[in-house]
Amino acid sequence: MFLLALFTFAGSLTVALALFFWYQGDSEIVFKTEAAHTFQVKHEPLKREIYCRCLIPLTNQGRQHGMVINVFCQPMYYGKIMEKLEMIPRLRLCREPLRKNGYWEAVIIKKKTTHLTELEVKIRAQIDLKSLVKEVPRLTVLIYYQTVGRNGIQLQLAEIQFDLNQGVLNG
Amino acid sequence: MSVEVISLNTKIITPEDDLLEVIAAYAKPFLKTGDTLVVAESVVAITQGRIIRPDHVKPGFWARILARFIHQDGSLSSPYAMQVIMREGGTLRTLAAFCVAALARLLLGRRGDFYRLAGEQTSLIDDITGTMPPFDKHIVLGPREPEKVVAEIKHRFGVEAAIIDANDLGKSKLLAATPGIDRSLLLRIFKRNPAGNADQQTPLVIVRKARRKASSPGPVRRSGR
């Protein structure tokens, strides 16, 4: 009888906790690359540089606050041509000033809020831009980000593409 | 009484630094007899190595459960910070504090018992984002033996010393102070957090009874009452 009561109590408590945790939910922070806008691709043939920029919403669509503690950007690998290119990607929260070394300061993203982030990629080429664009017509940038919520640390990935063909000529 | 508040810029202070040497380098040239040197709580903790990356913490079963019951604005709502507190104060004590606090809240409507019972570190811990870069990605605990630290500062530099936890929300807490300090005056001054909470890099503040205006170009000076 005692054991039955104990098991019933433990079972009810487990179910109650599970329901509470389910109802409470967690943060769900995502870089909404599909909603990215204000794309800019500038060609500077004299300097052999291409400057890419866009704004990406960073949204917490979960039911709890969460934190983004690290963000790293990495352009995709495009083969041997990469030896002749220097690519410097930087991502920052628009409300924060850009740190010269690109340091991402850990930030709390409150539930149901969206913050704009700015992604910049500077490409310096040792070859002329026409050859570069011919070989790499689209530049994919991978965004790895580490979030922390009630459930722990998660490493997530987003990707975004710049059309290098659609560049505006400068210089 | 009029006081002059002088915020001192320092380099980024890391666990490799010795607090007394930092004070010797950045504050000693400006210290005068009768001054009070106030040190930011997080800087004392950092020099004591009381920082940990969340990646190096494995939250246990109880930390995951208990963290769920802490309001999401609190540092302990993260299972990592909760695990660190359990490691610091003991799992049993934390669990007991939680149970008593839950009962007190349900039956008496009283809040805050968990922080009173689980130990001082529960209210001093800063979760990720709680400290200025480069420690924004760390969990920063409260300092160990703050009374001993202020006594050492007084012994070496001959001035009154205090460790304070101040923030931009107008809340400040005096962790330790040498006996000659007017605690209420200090708390009033630090309600405005003259050391700043972000990138100011001014973790040392001299509080000086104002006589006349000084003109040293080094530190940031403010006057207060």
pLDDT of A18 > 80? The answer is yes
> Which residues from B are below 8 Å from A69, CB to CB?
54, 128-129, 136-137
One domain, residues B78 and B133 = yes
- What's the structural domain count of chain B? 2
Q: What is the pLDDT of residues B159-199, one digit of tens each?
A: 999 999 887 556 788 999 999 898 888 888 887 766 555 55
Tell me how far CA of residue A167 lies from CA of A34, A73, A136, in angstroms. Answer: 20, 21, 13
Work out how many CB contacts closer than 8 A connect A with B.
Answer: 43
- B173 and B186 fall within a common domain: yes
Q: Which residues in chain B touch residue A107, judged by CB atoms under 8 angstroms apart?
A: 129
Residues B156 and B118 in one domain: no
My answer on whether B134 and B183 are in the same domain is no
More confident residue, B91 or B220: B91
Residues B215, B173 share a domain: yes
Compute the 3-state secondary structure of chain B and give helix, strand, coil in percent, each to the nearest 5.
40, 20, 40
Q: Are residues B37 and B15 in the same domain?
A: yes
Residue range(s) defining the domain that contains residue B161? 3-50+142-224
- Domain boundaries defined on chain A: 25-169
Residue B56 sits in the same domain as residue B125: yes
pLDDT tens for residues B53-105? 999 999 999 999 999 999 988 889 999 999 999 999 999 999 999 999 999 99
ipTM of the complex: 0.83
Q: Residue A61: how many CB atoms within 10 A of its CB?
A: 13
pLDDT digits (tens, 9 = 90+) for B23-62: 999 999 999 999 999 999 999 999 999 999 999 999 999 9
Contact A106 B136 (CB under 8 A): yes
CATH number at residue B159: 3.30.1330.100
- A25-169 has CATH 2.60.40.1470 classification: yes
